[in-house]
Amino acid sequence: MSLLGMAFTNLKNLFTGPATRLYPSIKRAPFARTRGSIQIDIDACIFCGMCQRKCPTQALVVNRQDKSWEIDVLRCIMCRYCVEVCPKKCLIQDNFYHPPTRGKVIRKYAQAAKANPQTGTQGRSADPTDASSQDAGEKPTE
């Protein structure tokens, strides 16, 4: 009887699709409640520092004077405490993970300063930068 069961299993495997995915080329859609990477709407942020105080791993750094916000991606445990405590709800937790890296990655965001009507000058941009590529090509001064 076991020989007949094995033959049935072999025939079934021949006529059905594979049981697994070819991962790099075929990716599974993430589940709806997957905890992924933290994103910020920097223009809505008031830089109160509540997210930094609530973070259990100190992965967030909020600088009120510079109007900058940064996250150490490898320290973040995706616990969602910072998203829940944010008074302006400018933090969002995506259900996608950040890509794998070999080095330390710190994503920095800076709020663009509004134009000064008296001088007509603009501030910094709000584009994220990586700490690993920030100092590329510059030699340290002694």
Q: For position 96, what pLDDT does the model report?
A: 83
**Boundaries of domain holding 73:** 32-112
pLDDT in tens, 76-111: 999 999 999 999 999 999 888 877 888 888 999 998
Instruction: Determine, yes or no, domain membership for 8.
Output: no
Q: How confident is the model at residue 29 (pLDDT cuts 50, 70, 90)?
A: confident
From 41, 65, 61, 37, select the one nearest 51 (Cα to Cα): 61
Residue range 16-34: mean pLDDT, rounded = 84
Residues in a beta bridge with 72: 106
Q: Are 49 and 67 in contact (CB under 8 A)?
A: no
Instruction: Determine, yes or no, domain membership for 55.
Output: yes
Instruction: Determine, yes or no, domain membership for 36.
Output: yes
Pairwise CA distance, residues 69 & 35, whole Å: 20
Domain of 50, CATH number, reads 3.30.70.3270
Q: How confident is the model at residue 1 (pLDDT cuts 50, 70, 90)?
A: low
Instruction: Determine, yes or no, domain membership for 9.
Output: no
Residue range 15-20: mean pLDDT, rounded = 84
Instruction: Determine, yes or no, domain membership for 73.
Output: yes
CA dihedral 34, 37, 43, 46 (to 10 degrees): 90
Q: How confident is the model at residue 43 (pLDDT cuts 50, 70, 90)?
A: very high
Under 8 Å CB-to-CB from 134, ≥6 apart: which residues? 108
Instruction: Determine, yes or no, domain membership for 122.
Output: no
Instruction: Determine, yes or no, domain membership for 1.
Output: no
- Where do we find the tokens 């991606």? 73
Number of domains in the chain: 1
Instruction: Determine, yes or no, domain membership for 134.
Output: no
pLDDT in tens, 106-132: 999 998 876 555 555 444 444 444 444
Residue 68 has pLDDT above 90, yes or no: yes
Burial 6-44 (b: 16+ CB within 10 A, else e): eeeeeeeeeeeeeeeeeeeeeeeeeeeeebebbbbebee
